Structure 1
Amino acid sequence: MEVVKVISIRGKILEFSESPTRRDNTTEVSQIHEAVKLTGAAVFDDDERLMPLISGFLSHGLRNALISEQSALTYGRNLGYTHEYLMGRREFRDCERDSAFLEIRTHVIEEYFAHLREIEEISKKTLRNRDCSLMAFFNNSLCRGVDDVPAPRTAPNPYVAGYLSPRPNKSLVVACSLHNLRELILATQSERERCLLQFIYDTGLRRSEVPRVTLKAIDDALRFQDTLFISRGISEPVNADYCPLRIDGSKGPADSFKPRDTLVSRATLLRVKKYHASPLYRMYKRQFPSAEATPAFLNAEGGQFTARSISKLLERTSKRALCLMKIDRMISPHKLRHGNAYALLRTPDIGTDYLDRLVSVQKTLGHSQLKTSETYTQIPFDLYQKLVSPGTETKTKAGEMAELSLQTRLRIDAGDMK
């Protein structure tokens, strides 16, 4: 049971105009403005007492754009779990609030991790996540002075030699195959949802990035197909099979967006455009002032999708496909992203060799390092080519998306309300 409460806000406006304290004419209260913008974090124990060391560490990180709001929540929960364990040990029961972190030694943290492994049976990956939070807390706050203020902790830093938890096992990437994508799409009777599932797979977007794709971004990408290209050995100009789509990506520093371009098949964009031409979408988009402010995908009520609602959509469609025995496991939004990476690695029309395709994966998925993209290379592409039956032609990603659109597209009639 979670007994720690973590609150994290960035630039949130607190309104005091209706506060009863403003009716008091004291000097202190008169300094309160009607609206105050706050950035910071607060962590409370099970007795609703503020933990000042943890809260100060997280607030400093938020105010100085060192961590995101989600990271502050994760750090706060992880440090709260550690504090709960420490309060259960006899030597720390007399410590006030979170002062136990000023006394804790390396062997205690190692015993905590052993407890998590053996008693709570927590995975090595989760263990390393807790370890990262503790290391940041000690290295960046407890054992480090700021300006002229000395470090709060005088005892040695337990993280001077690095991580204290065992290295987590590197798990194989589980991706959504094209077959599974088709079955997922067929498990819903809404063209709006079918269109969205194909779009997420073809673009490789994270679930948090989908709500930020706008009608204007789709229109701008489609304008690229008006450009005619002349290839070597071909006399007739042709349209490109892929269009660049500008994405306000996630994982930027401190909740900022990290813009990038991804490649999306022309067939997928045309399917999205047909959805935009439907009476249903045109009716709902009137509530937005411009194409730049209009989401590319709207839910059944005409509102904006959220990361959570996208996960719910995948959960719902996966269960339907499982009940029909069309797929053998649940498929999350990130598995669609993994599927996009493998589709890029196997398509023969992007790049001239394996390294070209790997760099394409890095750029389109928004990986800051090529090493992250190499996660998808347990089976090298040249070995994959040898596994393809002789005489068969590997389909392109663009061709697969065009075929998928033809096989699964539903018409949206004027009377449809979903």
Structure 2
Amino acid sequence: MSGVKFDQLLAEYHRYLEAERNFSRYTVRNYTTDVLDFLQFLRQGQRSLEEVDHLLIRSWLGQLLKRGIARGSICRKLSALRSFFRYLSREGKLSTDPMSTVSGPKRERKLPSFLTLQEIQKLLEAPDTSTPQGLRDRALLELLYAAGLRVSEVVALNVGNVDLKARQIRVWGKRSKERVVLIGRPAAEALERYLKLGRPKLSKRRSEALFLNRYGKRIAARRVQRLVREYAQIAGIDRGVFPHMLRHTFATHMLDGGADLRAVQELLGHANLASTQIYTHVTQSQMRRKYLKAHPRSEESEPSG
């Protein structure tokens, strides 16, 4: 199979992910990049797609490990390849699916990082709210924590999605799935101040975007990531902080406060409960540390007087 044929199939697969699977542009980009990696491996070995079997795929996996690719990234590449071969089989471009007998390396389970109540308070207070940008950033941080939003969701919000009176926001998550999230008084007040005092000064032009940059255009996800890092430094938090950590913090604090797991699942927009259950491991881990520190009969506590 020629390089031109590979390129044509990849372009068709790209359109399939966008149009039929309705994946986000980030997922489409990642999946097509991962499939391209495998196609380049085939080109180097002068092999065709018809020649692909589980042995050839395992050879590629071995090459990825030698290159030092992390197990989590390899698992994602395998997911992309499964999707690609499933697509080819369904479209009749291949008679068999070589991925049907392939299993990948087990992904190491890593517990989500989150901020303490003291840290999140310092982070939320870091923006200078005497400036339009500071009002925007305070509202943005409050919203990331209060509603547990993904950074892609928060930058996609429009003014019309916000109902301050009901303290709720309409959000479009992964695969354009709509959900309604709730916010508390602090987040609602921060949003109201931004909408009244900050946002009008960031742009004189009409824009439906909720969060604007200094040019009056929709703020970018990369800019939000930088802002979170910068405010974490201002707050004196001596570890890497990123927007998704505020989502982790939201879920962990909700469960610590006694929230129902199913309710947290709905608020986060998780398709299945397993994605939300990871946070129960975080709270259990916290509980264990507190027990070992406090209980007089635990091995780590010191005997009193």
The one-letter code of the counterpart of 1:157 is: D
Secondary structure in structure 2 of the residue aligned to 1:121: coil
- 1:276 paired with 2:195, answer yes
C-alpha spacing 1:54/1:358, structure 2 compared with 1 (3 Å): same
Deviation at 1:346, TM superposition (A): 2.1
* Change in CA separation of 1:80 and 1:212 when aligned onto 2, cut-off 3 Å: closer
Contact 2:255–2:283 (CA<8 Å) still a contact in 1? no
Aligned-pair distance for 1:206? 0.7
Match of 2:113 in 1: 174
Q: 1:297 to 1:369 in 2, by over 3 A?
A: same
| Maintained 8 Å contact 2:138/2:190 | no
1:127 paired to 2:74: yes
| 1:333 counterpart = 2:246 | no
Q: Indicate if the aligned counterparts of 2:252 and 2:279 stay in contact, CA closer than 8 A.
A: yes
- The one-letter code of the counterpart of 1:206 is R
| Structure 1 residues 283 and 327: CA distance shift in structure 2, 3 A | closer
Q: Which runs of no fewer than 5 residues in structure 1 stay unpaired?
A: 1-43, 225-242, 348-353, 391-418
2:53 pairs, out of 105, 130, 135, with: 105
Is 1:344–1:360's contact at 8 Å kept on the other side of the alignment? no
Alpha-carbon distance in 1 for matches of 2:110, 2:290: 23
Q: Which residue, out of 70, 73, 94, partners 2:29?
A: 73
Change (3 A) 1:166 1:294: same
How much does 1:127 deviate? 0.4
| Residues 341 and 60 of structure 1, relative CA distance in 2, 3 Å threshold | closer
Letter in 2 for 1:87: R
Contact 2:23 2:174 in 1 (8 A): no
Within 5 Å, give how 1:157-236 maps onto structure 2: 157-161=97-101, 163-189=102-128, 190-218=134-162, 220=163, 222-224=164-166
- Cα distance between partner residues in 2 of 1:296 and 1:66: 24
- Aligned CA RMSD, in angstroms, stands at 3.0
1:373: Cα distance to partner?
0.8
CA 1:81 to 1:385, structure 2 compared with 1: closer, same or farther past 3 Å?
A: closer
Q: What letter corresponds to residue 108 of structure 1 in structure 2? A: L
What TM-score comes out, normalization by structure 1 length?
0.61
Counterpart of 1:168 in 2: which secondary structure?
Answer: coil
Per-residue deviation, residues 278-327 of structure 1 (Å, max 9, x unmatched) = 2x433445422xxxx63333223333212222112123334555xxxx22
Aligned length: 287
Would you say 1:153 and 2:101 are equivalent positions? no
Larger radius of gyration: 1
- 1:3-402 equivalence runs, <5 A: 51-65=7-21, 67-89=23-45, 92=46, 100-117=48-65, 119-141=66-88, 143-144=89-90, 146=91, 151-154=92-95, 156-161=96-101, 163-189=102-128, 190-218=134-162, 220=163, 222-224=164-166, 243=167, 245-252=168-175, 257-278=176-197, 280-284=198-202, 286-288=204-206, 294-321=208-235, 326-347=236-257, 354=258, 356-379=259-282, 384=287, 387=290
Change (3 A) 1:386 1:319: closer
What TM-score does the superposition give when structure 2 sets the normalisation length? 0.81
> Per the alignment, in what secondary structure is the counterpart of residue 277 of structure 1?
helix
1:80 is paired with a residue whose SS is helix
- Whether contact under 8 Å (2:148, 2:246) holds in the other structure is yes
Secondary structure at the counterpart of residue 152 of structure 2: coil
Question: Structure 1 pair 223/184, CA: closer, same or farther in 2 (3 Å)?
Answer: closer
Residue pair 2:123, 2:232 contacting (<8 A) in 1 also = yes
**For residue 251 of structure 1, what is the amino acid of its counterpart?**
K
Contact preservation (8 Å) 2:111, 2:282: no
* 1:105–1:204 distance in 2 versus 1, CA, 3 Å: same
1:174 partner amino acid:
S
Q: Give the drift of 1:186.
A: 4.7
Distance 1:386 1:78 in 2: 40
Which amino acid letter does the alignment assign opposite residue 246 of structure 1?
I
State the 1:126 CA deviation.
0.4
| CA distance in 2 between partners of 1:382 and 1:164 (Å) | 30
Please give the alpha-carbon distance, in whole angstroms, between the structure 2 residues aligned to 1:302 and 1:266.
Answer: 27
Alignment partners' CA distance in 2, 1:186 and 1:246: 23
What is the deviation of 1:332?
A: 0.7
Distance 1:344 1:74, change over 3 A: same
Q: For the Cα contact (< 8 Å) 2:142–2:186, is it kept in 1?
A: no
Query: Does the aligned pair in 2 maintain the 1:246–1:259 contact within 8 Å?
Result: no
Question: Gaps (5+ residues) in structure 2?
Answer: 129-133, 295-305
- Assess if the C-alpha contact under 8 Å between 2:135 and 2:193 holds in 1: no
Other structure's SS at 1:287 match: coil
Residue 86 to residue 383, structure 1, CA distance change in 2 (3 Å): closer
CA–CA distance in 2 between the matches of 1:193 and 1:272? 10
Higher strand proportion (structure 1 or 2): 1
Whether the 8 Å contact between 1:192 and 1:297 is mirrored in structure 2 is: yes
